[in-house]
Amino acid sequence: MADRTGGGRICKVARAKLNLALHVRARRADGYHDLDSVFVHCVDGDEMWAEPADALSLTITGPFGNGLSTGEDNLVMRAARAVSAEYGGDRGAAITLVKNLPLASGIGGGSADAAAAIRLLVSLWDLPDDPDRMSGIAATLGADVAPCLFSWPKHVIGRGEHFTRLGDAAYRDWPVVLVNPGVEVSTGAIFREWDGRDRGGLGDTPRFADVMASGRNDLEAPARALATAIGDAIDALAAQPGAFGARMSGSGATCFALFGSCAERDAAGVAIRRAHPDWWVMETRLS
């Protein structure tokens, strides 16, 4: 799914985010946690469309769009207002969000949508494409929004506000299957169940081979304990021919595995859908 333009409308993809590793280092005095993670992004995700209009508006469609607010509390609308305020003026746009990804599922969600909205409106309104300025806008919206502005692999630390680009080409273009077993998990509850042990970080510049060999998601064990279906999804992915690195992303409930070929990935998607018709499954690749 590529970014597209046409007929005055433009589109940006809010690319699904995966944590290839998520090491929880410490619980902070402010109640948040220090994280050490590798973010990669898929070529597919939610779609964000916009076209010129006199005022800002938001419409939400797609398989996971039912019941979502389109008002000023929506993170996409907050992003749009923030872009307009940063660059001055009172600009309008008719925005449509096609919600293809499950909600609150550990793969970027609202953060990816907000990041896509920033990039979309900078393009629509012909504003300066300044990464630092856009990152500043994103930082006001949430810790994960700025990392989701850029589709390159990145090493993310702190709450998510500090990130650096990873130049290891091995991170890119892997076929991948995403699976969500349809269970609701509370991020707060999963963090509360984390055992508090610092099992070490990823190093200054984590390489793909090391992350896949010894990286982990420290939230996976508490998530499995709270929702056994997450373990079922990871086990189903790991059992597919050609699969490696089967893990949970973020605080769940979406899980993933990488594959050595597109044929193995596609066969895995078919097999998992057949065995679990009530699960959400997406075949894609890393960007």
Q: Is the predicted pLDDT of residue 119 greater than 90, yes or no?
A: yes
11 and 41 fall within a common domain: yes
The pairs formed by 1-8 with CB atoms below 8 angstroms and a separation of 24 or more are 1/43, 1/44, 1/45, 1/47, 2/43, 8/51, 8/52
Buried b / exposed e along 111-149 (16+ C-beta atoms within 10 A): bbbbbbbbbbbbbbbebeeeeebbbebbeebbbbbbbbb
pLDDT on residue 52: 96
Quick check: 243 and 257 in contact, CB under 8 A? yes
Decide if pLDDT at 7 tops 90: no
**Residue carrying the six token digits 């597209």:** 4
Say if residue 273's pLDDT is above 90: yes
pTM over 0.85: yes
If asked whether residues 203 and 146 sit together in one domain, one would say no
Q: pLDDT band at residue 4, thresholds of 50, 70 and 90?
A: low
Task: Say if residue 178 is in the same domain as residue 156.
Answer: no
Whether residues 186 and 100 fall in one domain? no
Omega within 30 of 0 (cis) for the link into 114: no
Q: What is the CATH number of the domain that holds 135?
A: 3.30.230.10
| pLDDT value of position 279 | 98
Does residue 81 share a domain with residue 222? no
Among candidate residues 165, 186, 204, the one where a domain is terminated: 165
Question: Looking up tokens 């290891």, which residue turns up?
Answer: 168
Looking at the structure, tell me whether residues 134 and 275 fall in a common domain: no
Exactly one of 17, 44, 113, 154 is catalytic; which is it? 17
Query: Is 266 designated active site?
Result: no
Query: Are 140 and 199 part of one and the same domain?
Result: no
| Catalytic one of 44, 46, 113, 144 | 144
Element (H, E) at 265: helix 262-275
Q: Domain containing 177 — which CATH number?
A: 3.30.70.890
End residue of a domain, out of 165, 193, 227: 165
The predicted pLDDT at position 216 comes to 97
**Domain housing 216:** 170-285
Are 116 and 37 within one domain? yes
Computed over every residue of the chain, the mean pLDDT equals: 95
Q: What is the structure's pLDDT at 236? A: 98
Write out the two tokens for 211: 């992350």
* Range from 2-6, 125-129, 229-233 carrying the lowest mean pLDDT: 2-6
pLDDT bucket at 89, cuts 50 / 70 / 90:
confident
- Does 144 qualify as catalytic in the annotation? yes
- What span, in angstroms and rounded, lies between the C-alpha atoms of 262 and 66? 32
Q: How many domains does the chain have?
A: 2
Angle (nearest 5°) at CA 21 between 267 and 25: 160
Select from 46, 40, 44 the least CA-distant residue to 58: 46
CA 194 to chain centre: 21
Residue with the bigger pLDDT between 182 and 89: it is: 182
Same domain (yes/no): 20, 138: yes
